[in-house]
Structure 1
């Protein structure tokens, strides 16, 4: 375990494990070349509280308060309007010229208002059978990118193709107005029966051209260059239990939330995989939750989490040992744990489904019996986090 080298941060729950605070702690304590986002998009919500400031990081990396640049890899879905809003919020929080800290792989898919409105229309139509979507167009962006060569009437990933699809727009297209216009025209025609956003194609071409001028668009070799220059922290979004391959369909995200994307970007370079877990489980929105307990929700209120219009209610329950072990196995290798919410009073764990929850009298020892504990969080602030220094002790809690 080497936290001075490249670190991959992945959530081992249903999301909301505290990945943002962990990334911030990793970046604040040691020199870091960049935070690389390796999945997800504008639906990420990583809370960081540091030096009297709070921000919910979405597309910017959670190392921003520590002055660390962000690179959005080609696995990220980029939503320029939300990115511009987040940049303004960061500027108001004291981050000077946030967009200057950002680079974006030109191959990254573009999430547009067409995707967002279609996503919300589909989720509204599901009624009580909602999937728990964030309503940010994530699944729709990925789905549309899979339609090349499909014909109207075909069923792709469980959804009928209603029109003639075109090529999916990418970030690089924002600097190529003619190409972008052609792709957006096709998007507008394709989604016209489902939803029509307020922005016209002409407006979007102009706005996206401004976006391209404001950020640095890179080729596919950028992550390798950053990794060869110095330490990189790879920040995952959502959690392994929502993974498109390992989660519980249909209540999943259209994203690989395990460390596999980060490993591909690292191309064999040495790294440490850090799995983030709370002392109790949480879930946002619909989907199975075997250890859910309303008493846990009442006992541990969340200052920065609540019900979402599309995502649904904030839920909580006891730590689920079965699901934790499943998530660790799905990662194909976790080197150490980051345990957050250690300030929770007398958390409980369900060791086997069907068994009663038992009190975790010594949470660190319990987690340490599974994997070394390298990062601990005893509250929401950066000051509440401790990151292990190089050590031979398997469970490392440093003052």
Structure 2
């Protein structure tokens, strides 16, 4: 049976079942039919090239379910979260639109109130405005879901008990709140760039596009703020690589294996221009500016071997001095592996175990380093742990592939 015949047969046999299952799950026939239609359209596009999956009906049901979830999230995100935010603060709507014309950006600035601790305001805003689930937020902060739920609940209680007003900040208030807003947008972008939810597409372009759009708006409000420019550059240079990040079979593609010819040259040029502007300012860079500079080095290289790894490590040295987080240290170790070799890098990575034992990227990095050192059994065990912890479907598929390759090495 060829792909066209498989789609026709699946359409005849599975359409009603898929629609019925989604209608029962979501209680909305329109959403069910639209999601099923999108799933069959995707099958018509992908099966002729990729081949018919072993279980066509299961593939269609899973794909339709993900399409329905994405639609519900898109529709509920704005109005529902806006209403929730108003209930969290008080019953009175803001009297003025203030300095911010965009409704969503206005709400983010309003929620990032300086009376709350930074992590609390970021987590609460991600939940209320960003539309992220508690599970997704917990992954972003590398904490347990229950701990994140308690953190968000405490933030809501503090708002009520301290009677923190739901007021749109003035232009003068924005510099005091912008760091929290940038943290929110950075995490929203990251969730879109490498989605952690098991029922979402590997890349959520709706989130990355919205984060970029809102960061552009902030740049018009605060054009002299270096970290705003840095975050925008970082997002653009990261987004530019999206066309090459997922393979035809749905696996994550490492940067050294990506087709750099399909990177978005326009986004790269704009990102590089922003990085050069910040370097020319002579002002000491912040976290986002350093991350943008690192990405500028990567996107300047014609291939992996052409990357200036000494410069990348030097930039990570600056970053770790500003942000001595274990994740920053892990990323620095990855760069050290390219400059100094896997033995040196593995020693650095192993020091981070206590801080990153629940972080899939830590185990994935160890697996790759152990693999390069010829320690196959240890590498396989590290891949197993990374696969268990990873939430992104494309990344999980890639890790499984890498683990299976060890059998032939």
Higher RCO (Cα < 8 Å, 6 or more apart): 1
Higher helix share: 2
Q: Which has the larger radius of gyration?
A: 2
What TM-score does the superposition give when structure 1 sets the normalisation length? 0.29
Q: TM-score, normalised by structure 2?
A: 0.29
Name the one with the larger strand percent: 1
